[in-house]
């Protein structure tokens, strides 16, 4: 990989006037590696050496914050190699800006009322991926209406919620083992903001089950020993299983 990137820089990027090239690796936690192979260290070494060779590449990766904590246990220099930026949920203003930029980028003249943006932010909690999924499906379902108002939003929301279940939540649910699925359903039915393993005596090895669900991004740790499902809409989906 190093030689190929060096050739790309030397033969094409540098001659074209490129000052820096970004290499993006999305969802690094799905990278097919094993700890003993030190592949994370190989990534770090590769891009450091490319800079030494005069190739101005910048490596950008995305992953759950938990991954970086785990990497630190066996490849701590990798953690120091990256400048970490934690992405938070969108506020109303950030969501409005993101939606308007996306519409403009595809040449759309459709306007979204502030009430609709506010409703989408409230429904998704500002979760960037869910927010954009909802907006994409809303545009498909409303058609060329000029302005999407709150009445249009309320009309199509049940269908959007169904699509969220099919396209996103069903896949997440299936990624869990049968026992983990039963546990998640029980968590959803508790209707609590946070839960702890001790509340589920009927599940053997509850702490380990919770840890596995956190690793799969199905649970979020809110505090020591206290968790919640990754999203309220997912909790609603689980109640229907």
Distance CA 113, CA 100 (A): 11
Distance CA 147, CA 36 (A): 55
Q: Is the pLDDT of residue 36 over 60?
A: no
> Which of the four pLDDT bands, split at 50, 70 and 90, describes residue 72?
low
* Other Cβ atoms within 10 Å of 179 Cβ, number: 13
Q: Is the pLDDT of residue 35 over 80?
A: no
Element (H, E) at 92: helix 92-105
Q: Which of 81, 105, 138 represents a domain boundary (last residue)?
A: 81
Which residue range forms the structural domain that includes residue 217? Answer: 176-239
In a shared domain, residues 117 and 129? yes
Position 87 in a domain:
no
Q: Is the pLDDT of residue 37 over 60?
A: no
Quick one: pLDDT at residue 28? 79
> Which of the four pLDDT bands, split at 50, 70 and 90, describes residue 75?
low
Angle between helix axes 178-190 and 232-239 (nearest 10 degrees) is: 110
Q: What are phi and psi of 18, to 5 degrees?
A: -65, 130
Q: Enumerate residues 6+ apart whose C-beta is below 8 A from 180.
A: 209, 212, 213, 216, 218
In a shared domain, residues 161 and 185? no
* Other Cβ atoms within 10 Å of 98 Cβ, number: 16
Quickly count helices (H) and strands (E) in the chain.
12, 6
The residue behind tokens 């005069």 is 54
Quick one: pLDDT at residue 174? 94
Q: Which two tokens stand for residue 96?
A: 């409005």
Q: Which of 143, 172, 201 represents a domain boundary (last residue)?
A: 172
Q: Which of 81, 106, 128 represents a domain boundary (last residue)?
A: 81
Quick one: pLDDT at residue 34? 55
In a shared domain, residues 159 and 184? no
Beta strands 219-223 and 147-148, pairing class: unpaired
In a shared domain, residues 159 and 96? yes
Distance CA 176, CA 173 (A): 6
Higher-confidence position of 154 and 44: 154
In a shared domain, residues 167 and 96? yes
Q: Is the pLDDT of residue 74 over 70?
A: no
Average pLDDT along the chain = 88
Express each pLDDT in 152-170 by its tens digit.
999 999 999 999 999 999 9
């Amino acid at each position: 990989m190093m030689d190929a990137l060096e050739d790309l820089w030397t033969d094409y990027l540098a001659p074209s006037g490129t000052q820096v090239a970004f290499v993006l690796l999305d969802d690094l936690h799905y990278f097919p590696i094993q700890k003993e192979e030190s592949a994370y260290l190989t990534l770090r070494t590769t891009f450091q050496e490319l800079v030494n060779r005069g190739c101005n590449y910048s490596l950008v990766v995305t992953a759950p914050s938990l991954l970086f904590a785990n990497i630190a246990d066996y490849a701590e220099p990798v953690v120091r190699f990256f400048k970490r930026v934690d992405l938070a949920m969108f506020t109303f203003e950030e969501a409005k800006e993101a939606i308007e930029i996306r519409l403009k980028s595809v040449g759309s003249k459709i306007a979204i009322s502030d009430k609709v943006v506010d409703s989408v932010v409230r429904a998704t909690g500002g979760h960037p991926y869910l927010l954009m999924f909802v907006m994409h499906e809303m545009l498909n379902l409303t058609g060329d209406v000029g302005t999407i108002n709150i009445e249009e939003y309320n009309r199509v929301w049940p269908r959007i919620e169904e699509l969220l279940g099919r396209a996103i939540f069903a896949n997440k649910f299936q990624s869990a083992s049968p026992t983990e699925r039963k546990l998640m359903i029980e968590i959803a039915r508790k209707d609590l903001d946070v839960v702890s393993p001790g509340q589920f005596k009927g599940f053997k090895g509850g702490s380990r089950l919770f840890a596995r669900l956190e690793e799969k991004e199905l649970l979020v740790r809110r505090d020591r020993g206290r968790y919640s499902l990754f999203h309220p809409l997912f909790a609603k989906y689980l109640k229907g299983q």
